[in-house]
Chains A and B, each alone.
Chain A
C-alpha cells in the first residue's frame, strides 16, 4: 500500500534532522491529535482538548525552543542553514493532523524570526525572551499583531503603501515606547500568546521605511487588552481576537531591528508565512490522500471498489498529483529561503513575490482538489467522521489569509511584469 512517504521529497535539500523531526512529529500527530480532532470544532473557545496536545508538541518535544540560539537554551535553527526545509517538514507533519495547530505553532516563530534569525539576531532581545519559551513545562505562544480595522491587508502591502496606513502608533517617551492602537485577527490572540510582535508607525501617514516599527510587547503589559475569540468556518485550534494597546509602555530596546531594518526584515516574515502556508496545504493534501485512499478501497460502486472506477481514479489521480507537486514546490521554496547565496535575500522582492505565487497557486489547487474528492464521496464527503470536510474548511482559510489571494496576485504581477501603477 502506498503511503504519504511515497511522495517525492527533494533529498538533496533535506536537513540532517529531517528523519528524526519527521518521525517524532508524526508519532505525536498520530497519538495526540488524530484520535481527537473530530471534537476540535466544539473546542474552539476553551481549547480543553487542543491545549494538552500543544503542550506535548511544543514543551514536551521541546520544539518551541527551535529558533533561539543555543546559548539562550534554544536549538539554534535560526543559524543552521536549514531552517526553511526543517520548518517545512515539521509544519507539513503538523498540518497533516490539523492545519490550525500548524498555524498556531508556526506563528509562535513569526515574531521571533525578527530577532533570532541570521543575519539580524538581536542578542539582547533573545536573552530577554528566551526564558519565556525555552522551557518544557508548558506550551508558550507568540503572535504578530499586524492587521488593523481600517486597513485589512494594507499592512502587508508593503511595496505600495510602505506602512503609510498603519494607525497603531509608537511614540518615544524617555527610554520607553508608548504604543496605542487596535489590531484584528492575530493568530494566537484571545489570550493565547505571551508575547506580541506589534507592527506600528512612529509617524502616522509616513512612507519613510524608518518609521515602520516592529516592537515586542508582553501580553501582560499594562494597557494591553484582548477580546473574545472570533468564531470561524474552521481552524478551531487557531484563536483570533481584537487586541487593544492603550498607552502601553515597553523599553526602547524592545524594537526588533531598528529604523529601516524593521521593514526590511519584516518582509522575511512574509516569506516564511508563505512557506508555512504551502506546508499547511501540503500536509492537508497528504492526509486527504490517506483518507481518500482508504475510503475508495472500502466503498463500492457498481459492485467494485470505488477506486476501480476510471472516473473516480482520475479524481484520485488529480489529488495525488497535487500532493506531489505541492511537496516539490514547497521544498523548492524552503530551499530558496535557506540559500540566499543562490536565490537572493529572504526579504528581497523576488523571494517574497515567488512565495506569494507559490502560496496562492497551491492553496487554490488544494481547495479545488478537495472539493472534487468530496463530490466523489457524495454525502459522505461532508460528514465530520470522514475527516475531509474539516480539512476543506481549514485550508480555505489558509487560502484567504495574509492579505487574501488578490494581494498575492498583485505582488506576483508587480515583480514579474514590473508594473508601475499597481
Chain B
C-alpha cells in the first residue's frame, strides 16, 4: 500500500492478491472516475453506467464468487469479507452509488456462495438470471422495515415487518408482497433478494427472484437523497412462483449473517467516500487563505482543529471497518456472522462508521462553507450518499434495541 494513504489501518490482513486488487481499483478510480467527474457533473450517469460495466465485467468484481468455469474468480470462503471490504472502499472512493450497486450484488451472492452455505445450484440460478438481463449483475435486496399501516411485525425481524409473505401452494411456493422497498437500484436490478415470512409457520425465508419472473411488477422510480445513479423503485410480487432453487435460505440466523455482510459492505463504502472527502478537504485547505492575511486555511488554529477532528473520525471509521472485515472473514476464530456476537458487532460497526462519517462530512462542509454544498466540489454528493447508506441500515431504534438486547439482555417491547 504505497500510495499516499495517511490513515493507518490493519492492512496485514489483506492478501497479496487483495493488495493488488486495491492498487488496480485505485488506479481505475483515479483514471476512469475521479479524473472525469467534473466533465460529467450535469449527468453522472453518462460516466457511471459505463463504469459499472467495466467494474463488473472487465475487472470481474461481480464474478468474484462465480466458478472459474463460468468466468469467475472462484472465491468460496469467508476470506471474501476482507477482499470485499478493501474493494468496496476503493470503489466507494470513486462513487458510493457504484460501490453500493456492487455491494448488494456481492452480499446477495455471498448468502449462497460462501462456505459453509455455498450452494452451486443457487449460485448458478443467479448467474443465469444475470446473463439473461440487459444490465450487469445488479441486485436489489428487500429487507425488514418499519410497517406501514396494519402490516404485521416480527420479533425475529427486530420488531420490523417483512416486506413479503411466502406461502406453500401445493405445487411449490408463491411469493406475495406489495410495494416492497429495495435497498437500492430497484429500477434496474435483474435479481431481487426478498426477505419473506413463511405464512404457515412464520419462519423467515430469503428468496432469489428474477426481475423478469411472471408477477413481478416494478413501480415508477422514486427520488431519494443520494445513490441516485441507478434510481430506486418499489417492486410488487403478485403470487410469483418460487422454484425450490430460488429459496436461498430459511431462518433468522442466516438472515443475521446476510445482514452482517451487508453492514460490512456499507461501512466499507462509507470509508471510501471518506477517503475522497479527505482529499477534497486537503485540496481546499491548501489552496485557500483566510482573514485576508495570507494565512493558509489549514494553518489556522480553529480550522486545523476541525480538520484534525475530521481526520480522526476517518481513521477510526476505517480501523473499525477492517476489524469487522476480519471478524466476518474468520468464523474459525470469532464464530460465524449469524452468531449474535458477530452480528451485533456488524450492526454496531456500521452505525458507528456512519455516525463518524456524518460528523466528518458535516465538519468538512462547515469548513468549506458554500463550496461544501456546491455540487462542483463533490463533497455534498458524498454527504448525501452517506446519509442514504446510513438510512438503508434500517431504523435506528431497531438497531439500538438489538445492541441493548445483546449487551444487556434487554427485552424491549
A300 and B146 form a contact (CB under 8 A): yes
Given A311-B401, A312-B397: A393 touches B225 (CB 8 Å cut-off): yes
| 0/1 interface trace, chain B 353-371, chain A, CB 8 Å (1 if under) | 0000010001001110110
**Bound Cα distance from A406 to B369, whole angstroms:** 9
Smallest beta-carbon distance B398→chain A, Å: 7
Contact B394 A378 (CB under 8 A): yes
13 new A-B pairs (CB below 8 Å) besides A301-B398, A302-B412? A38-B223, A147-B370, A154-B290, A232-B373, A233-B380, A233-B383, A300-B150, A300-B153, A311-B401, A378-B391, A379-B391, A385-B223, A393-B384
The size of the chain A interface, using a CB distance under 8 A, is: 59
- Closest chain-A Cβ to B352's Cβ sits at a distance in Å of 13
Size of the chain B interface, CB-CB below 8 angstroms: 59
User: When each residue 13-46 of chain A gets 1 if its CB lies under 8 Å from chain B and 0 otherwise, what string results?
Assistant: 0000000000000000000000000100100000
Prevailing SS type, chain B contact patch: mixed
Q: Which of B147, B380, B391, B396 contacts A299 (CB 8 A)?
A: B147
B413 touches A379 (CB 8 A): no
- Other-chain residue from A231, A404, A409, A410 in contact with B369 (beta carbon distance below 8 A): A404
Assess the B224–A384 pair: CB atoms within 8 A.
Answer: yes
Is the CB of A344 closer than 8 A to any CB of chain B?
Answer: no
**Which residues of chain B are near A389, meaning CB under 8 Å?**
224-225, 387
Contact call A374/B384, Cβ cutoff below 8 A:
no
Set B147, B290, B401: member contacting A152, Cβ < 8 A: B290
Produce 1/0 per residue, B39-59, CB < 8 A to A. 001100000000000000000
Interface residues of A in 344-390 (CB under 8 A from B): 367, 371-372, 374-385, 389
Take A231-B41, A379-B392 as given contacts and tell me if A299 and B373 are in contact as well, using a CB distance cutoff of 8 Å.
no
A382–B224 touching, CB < 8 Å:
yes
A405 at the interface (CB under 8 A from B): yes
**Most B CB within 10 A of own CB, among A298, A384, A389, A410:** A389
Docked CA distance A339–B366 (Å): 32
Give the residues from 322 to 355 in chain A that come closer than 8 angstroms, CB to CB, to chain B.
Answer: none
The answer to whether A154 touches B292, judged by C-beta atoms less than 8 angstroms apart, is yes
Report the Cα distance A147→B391, complex, angstroms: 35
B149 proximal to A (CB < 8 A)? yes
Instruction: List chain B residues, Cβ under 8 A from A184.
Output: 370
**A329 to B198 CA separation, bound complex (whole angstroms):** 54
A312 to B397, CA, bound (A): 7
A378 in contact with B395 (CB, 8 Å): yes
Contact of A401 with B by CB under 8 A:
yes
Q: Which residues of B contact A298 (CB under 8 A)?
A: 148-149
A202 in contact (CB, < 8 A): no
Q: In this assembly, does B145 line the interface, its C-beta being within 8 Å of a C-beta of chain A?
A: yes
Tell me if B222 is interfacial: C-beta within 8 Å of chain A. Answer: yes
Listed by A's residue number, 11 A-B pairs whose Cβ atoms lie within 8 Å are A154-B290, A161-B292, A231-B41, A300-B146, A301-B147, A374-B387, A379-B391, A382-B387, A400-B370, A404-B366, A406-B303
Q: How far is the CB of A37 from chain B (nearest CB, A)?
A: 12
Listed from nearest, the 9 A-B pairs whose CB atoms lie closest are A404-B369, A378-B395, A165-B292, A384-B223, A233-B380, A375-B396, A302-B159, A382-B225, A300-B147
* Cα A185 to Cα B366 with chains together (Å): 16
A-B contact count (CB 8 A): 160
CB-nearest residue of chain A relative to B372?
A: A400
Which residues of chain B have C-beta atoms less than 8 A from A311's C-beta?
397, 400-401
Q: How far is the CA of A153 from the CA of B393 in the complex (A)?
A: 38
Q: Cβ of A301: which chain B residues have Cβ within 8 Å of it?
A: 146-147, 153, 159-160, 395, 397-398
Q: Is there an interface contact between B222 and A383, defined as CB atoms closer than 8 Å? A: yes
Given known A153-B369, A300-B149, A383-B224, contact A409–B395 (CB-CB < 8 A): no
The answer to whether A161 touches B224, judged by C-beta atoms less than 8 angstroms apart, is no
Identify which of B292, B362, B391, B393 contacts A367 (C-beta below 8 A): B362
Which residue of B41, B181, B391, B401 has the most chain A CB atoms within 10 A of its CB atom? B391
| Chain B residue contacts of A151, Cβ below 8 A | 292
Give per-residue flags for B380-413: 1 if the beta carbon is below 8 A from chain A beta carbons, else 0: 1001100110111111111011000000000011
Q: How far is the CB of A383 from chain B (nearest CB, A)?
A: 5
> Smallest Cβ distance from A405 to chain B, in angstroms?
5
B299 within 8 Å of A by Cβ?
Answer: no
Q: Determine which residue in B183, B224, B288, B400 has the highest number of CB atoms from chain A within 10 A of its CB, and name it.
A: B224
